[in-house]
Structure 1
Amino acid sequence: MFKKLFAAVGVGGATVDTVLDNPQVVPGGTLSGVVCIKGGSVEQTIEYVDLVLMTEAEQEAGEDEIRVAHALGRFRASGALQIQAGQEQRLPFSFQLPLELPVNNATALTTPGAPYYPHIRAAVWVHTDLAIAAAIDAKDRDFLDVRPLPQMQALIAALGQLGYMHASTDVEIGTVRVNDIYSSLGCYQEFEFRPTQGGFGGLTGVQEVEVTCIPRPEGVHVLVEVDRRFRGDSYRALWMGPDWQRVDWATQLRQLIG
């Protein structure tokens, strides 16, 4: 009797631990692993086991900005099941990550030759939700190391050639559009570049360049926002198609930024 009461308030109830095969992933790749459930002191009914892909994003709140946890997708690892006292169950899983998954690997996002890493605010994790009937749910959190797509790295390198260093990246709540292509996760990632002293940017009055990528199976749609001193912002679009590796992106960006 007392064991059931304690389990209902989370004492001696079932626990969950998700073990990832490899926490280093890429957008559009596969995430796999095992959800390990261990029964507590009494038998319990598990209503479902969900894996929720999460990120932290910036959201406007009146005149302020706050950071919120934002769900990118939910994947069911198991439906209803019974877990006996002390029993261990292992639930293998595998699912495809979205192409628009925010990236956060500092080394891969650094401008080649730069003396510093960019400031990265793009945490991504898997939240394991173990829904237990008539009890406090058990939860687990596992962070992902997300490497950028090669197209993103090509843009970072090209901007570096023009004298713009990757300074920071953030995830923002909302939707962004590149021509007729819209982002689809309820948030989008911005890469911010600043001109280096004596670089090409300083000659054009550019204070900052912001890049947003919307990857699709056919290629990457890119929005470039240029913030010029005394002239405000301007927006341009780029398309990185199947032949993107044969394009001189430094020249393309130089013409675009002006």
Structure 2
Amino acid sequence: MFERLFSSIGIGSAKVNTVLYQGKIERGKEVHGEVHVYGGKVEQTISEIYIHVDTEFHKFDDEMTEFRDVTEPIIEIKITDPVVVKPHEEKIIPFSFTLPFYTPVTFRDQKVHIQTELDISYFSHPIETHDFDVVDPLIDNIISHLTERGFLHSTKSGLCRHKLPTETNPTHCLQAFQLSNSQGIQVEFVGNEKDIDIYVHEKNQVHHYSLKRDTNFEDQISLVTIAS
């Protein structure tokens, strides 16, 4: 009786751990993993298990917005119907989902978290969170191409800024990359989009280039003209 009462207020209740099969997750690809639920001292019914992918970003001093510290949900997935966990039982629940292109890549202080949430009762709501790496070969290729030519990141490069949601990016996160070279040429592009638009600022002019994900990178980047 007392154990059931303790369970109802979150003492000795079920615990959760999430395992991803991949060490690094590529945007646009399917993510596979398992949720491990460990039973507590009494039998419990878990009404729902949710997986959240979240990121965080902070207001820059020059931004006119009320948001200073934001945790932004990228995607939320319900992975199971109600499930009963017996005392000290381990249940393993596999899951999969596609990581959208509007997820920011992990770069410098820009982190991405996966959070698992068990809905057991009003008083018992275990949550488990950990970071994971998000990569994108197209972003890697662009950055490598620029850094090999002497471009360096600004202090804010790769960090998310606040924006209004759009049809292609329903989040408030805009991951902006900014690089420049010793000649004062600046290159900017938004990272968390499927296709990448590059803007080259030089001699009071702005040149725009669009890189398509389904087209050969070398053929496209050869058309990006940057004066030396």
Change (3 A) 1:172 1:63: closer
Change (3 A) 1:176 1:225: farther
Change (3 A) 1:170 1:214: closer
- Alignment correspondent of 2:100: 98
CA RMSD of the aligned region, Å? Answer: 2.9
Distance 1:237 1:25 in 2: 29
Read off the aligned partner of 1:93 and give its amino acid letter: F
- Alignment correspondent of 2:32: 32
Do 1:43 and 1:84's aligned partners in 2 also have CA atoms closer than 8 Å? yes
Distance 1:10 1:238 in 2: 55
User: Please, which of 104, 120, 126 is the counterpart of residue 132 of structure 1?
Assistant: 120
Count of residue pairs brought into register by the alignment:
223
Runs of 4+ deviating beyond 3 Å:
59-65, 213-216, 225-228, 234-237
What is the CA-CA distance between 1:210 and the residue it aligns to? 2.8
- Alignment correspondent of 1:156: 143
- Alignment correspondent of 1:166: 153
Read off the aligned partner of 1:249 and give its amino acid letter: I
Change (3 A) 1:223 1:251: closer
- Alignment correspondent of 2:19: 19
Query: Is residue 245 from structure 1 mapped to residue 217 from structure 2 by the alignment?
Result: yes
Do 1:214 and 1:222's aligned partners in 2 also have CA atoms closer than 8 Å? no
Change (3 A) 1:87 1:243: closer
Query: Is residue 7 from structure 1 mapped to residue 20 from structure 2 by the alignment?
Result: no
Distance 1:176 1:221 in 2: 18
What is the CA-CA distance between 1:162 and the residue it aligns to? 4.2
What is the CA-CA distance between 1:42 and the residue it aligns to? 1.4
- Alignment correspondent of 1:188: 174
1:50-79 deviation digits (Å, cap 9, x = unpaired):
100111123478677623211001111112
Gaps of 5+ in 1: 107-119
When you count strand as a share of all residues, which structure comes out higher? 1
Q: Mean alpha-carbon deviation: is it higher for 55-64 or for 163-172?
A: 55-64
Distance 2:217 2:76 in 1: 34
Do 1:58 and 1:172's aligned partners in 2 also have CA atoms closer than 8 Å? yes
What is the CA-CA distance between 1:239 and the residue it aligns to? 1.5
Query: Is residue 224 from structure 1 mapped to residue 202 from structure 2 by the alignment?
Result: no
Distance 1:248 1:82 in 2: 54
Q: TM-score, normalised by structure 1?
A: 0.74
Change (3 A) 1:182 1:58: farther
Do 2:158 and 2:191's aligned partners in 1 also have CA atoms closer than 8 Å? no
- Alignment correspondent of 2:88: 86
Read off the aligned partner of 2:80 and give its amino acid letter: S
Other structure's SS at 1:157 match: helix
Distance 1:235 1:136 in 2: 55
1:147-178 deviation digits (Å, cap 9, x = unpaired):
222x222321332354312343101232488x
Q: TM-score, normalised by structure 2?
A: 0.83
Distance 1:193 1:250 in 2: 18
Q: Percent identity?
A: 22
1:15-37 deviation digits (Å, cap 9, x = unpaired):
11111112311111121111111
Gaps of 5+ in 2: none
